[in-house]
């Protein structure tokens, strides 16, 4: 019999407004210290929280202010940007309902970013797993607002976006890192990302031997070098 997928986070009412909890955002600098500086937005993975990636802040370049967001959907153990379909073997998928929730999450991040006061001089994105998928999604939606993306163990969501043509024209820099032993992200999502990104962005793609669904010290060093290049 085929293995059935179960949905995670489906107790969430799809009619609920999706917003970013401004009170849950972790900042690396106070309000006065954010003026006339670029911003790096951190987007955590599924079933995690805003404190997860914020632990990377001491290893990142000092030029940008770092803001780590909490995803809007509560999963019971942590938070998510959109629900997932999880197969019996641990792989994840995305149906139409989940894709709509991903769109709502992207809208929420865009609204939050546009409301910032003081406004940052530029905005970059760094996400892991589901947050990595959302970082690419945000670039697709608003490449005029977000200058680059770091997608760690992330992937491109299916479908077309109104901003895809503008993205291909701008060719923003994207770092896409993944491990050879990552069994969480489905092979079809990896294949889609491999085909989609090179034609539309200035891609720095890295594959790490033996790495699972995680971030290694070597990958973090490569990410830091990539970010330094953005802020040079």
What range does the domain containing 80 cover? 6-231
Q: How many structural domains is the chain composed of?
A: 1
Q: Flag whether 175 is in a domain.
A: yes
Residue 120 falls inside a structural domain: yes
**141-162: buried (b, 16+ CB within 10 Å) or exposed (e) per residue?**
bbbeebbbbbbbbbbbbeeebe
Does residue 131 lie in a domain region? yes
Give the CATH number for residue 128. 3.40.50.1820
Q: List, for residues 164-216, the tens digit of each pLDDT value.
A: 999 999 999 999 999 999 999 989 999 999 999 999 999 999 999 999 999 99
With contact defined as beta carbons under 8 Å apart, do 130 and 45 qualify? yes
Q: SS3 for 178-208, per residue?
A: EECCCCCCCHHHHHHHHHHHHHCCEEEEEEE
pLDDT grade, residue 159 (50/70/90)?
confident
Q: Report pLDDT digits (tens) over 2-42.
A: 333 344 444 444 446 789 999 999 999 998 899 999 999 99
Residue 93 lies in a domain: yes
Q: What is the pLDDT of residue 85?
A: 64
Instruction: Evaluate whether residue 71 is within a structural domain.
Output: yes
């Amino acid at each position: 019999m085929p293995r059935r997928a179960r949905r995670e986070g489906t107790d969430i009412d799809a009619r609920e407004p999706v917003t970013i909890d401004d009170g849950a955002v972790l900042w690396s600098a106070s309000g006065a210290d954010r003026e006339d500086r670029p911003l790096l937005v951190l987007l955590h993975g599924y079933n995690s929280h805003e404190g997860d990636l914020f632990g990377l802040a001491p290893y990142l370049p000092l030029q940008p202010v770092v803001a780590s967001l909490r995803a809007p959907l509560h999963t019971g153990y942590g938070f998510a940007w959109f629900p997932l379909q999880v197969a019996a073997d641990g792989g994840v998928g995305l149906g139409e309902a989940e894709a709509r929730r991903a769109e709502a999450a992207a809208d929420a991040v865009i609204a939050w970013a546009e409301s910032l006061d003081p406004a940052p001089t530029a905005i970059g994105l760094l996400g892991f797993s589901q947050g990595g998928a959302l970082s690419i999604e945000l670039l697709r939606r608003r490449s005029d607002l977000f200058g680059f993306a770091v997608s760690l163990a992330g992937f491109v969501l299916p479908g077309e976006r109104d901003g895809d043509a503008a993205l291909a024209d701008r060719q923003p820099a994207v770092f896409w890192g993944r491990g050879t032993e990552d069994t969480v992200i489905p092979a079809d999502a990896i294949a889609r990302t491999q085909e989609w990104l090179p034609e539309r962005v200035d891609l720095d793609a890295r594959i790490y031997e033996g790495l699972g669904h995680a971030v290694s010290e070597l990958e973090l060093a490569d990410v830091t070098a990539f970010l330094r290049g953005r802020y040079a």
